Amino acid sequence: MMHRLSLVFLAAVGASVVGPPRSDASPPAAGPCLAPLQWEGRWVLYDHGTGRNQRAAVSYDGPNQRLRVLQQHKKHTPCQKFFEYIYLYQSMVMFQIDQKTKNCSKIALTEAWDPFDIPDNSTFEDQYFIGGPGDSVEVQEWSDRKPARKHETWVGVYTLKDCYPVQETYIRNSSVTTSTRFFNLQLGISDPNIFTPPSTCQSAQPERMAESDC
């Protein structure tokens, strides 16, 4: 999904403190856990190519293949424009809405829906606790690493108890492309109407709007 928006706690990110890996970690007999199908929360998506962090409120609707991303305002970023993105993968379109002017762009999606979950054919990597003593947030790390391929292209960290996404990292040509950290997740969709584009999108332009006025 957009590369999960081109979404492992890797040293390149350095954003979380993790406890030592369990020395007795072994692949779960039942395989990967099943991630929630609908949730809302926040994420920080770091693009390693541009060096930019994107902080946003996110609503995820797996059964209907919909995603809504509302960028959070950062007053210390001059000239920055902030958008709402509505991804409708069943229709293969994305709407980009300027939060201030409500101008709208309608862009065709070129990549298939990629859910936030652990694919059944994933490779178990590790199991450990996040944080220090007493935190007790246990997670599992999975990847798409295969014996015939030297490097993985996706690594995902999910909570052991409820299978919430914690972090996903994508790699291309041995270099990290995006790292996405998830937090403050809640089950369900509070308002299904947020996936409906505003009326200004009825006359949407076909070109993507620039992210900065400078």
Residue 133 CA to its chain's centroid (Å): 28
Residues paired with 159 in a beta bridge:
139
With beta carbons less than 8 A apart as the criterion, state whether 200 and 97 touch: yes
What confidence tens digit (pLDDT) does each residue in 110-137 have? 999 999 999 999 999 999 999 888 888 9
Single pTM value for the model: 0.83
Domains and CATH numbers, the chain: 38-201 (2.50.20.30)
For the chain, 214 residues long, give each residue's pLDDT as a single digit of tens: 544 444 333 333 333 334 444 445 566 767 899 999 999 999 999 988 888 889 999 999 999 999 999 999 776 666 778 999 999 999 999 999 999 999 999 999 999 999 999 999 999 999 999 988 888 899 999 999 887 666 788 999 999 999 999 999 998 876 778 999 999 999 999 999 999 999 999 999 999 998 877 6
In whole angstroms, what is the distance from residue 55 CA to residue 33 CA?
A: 27
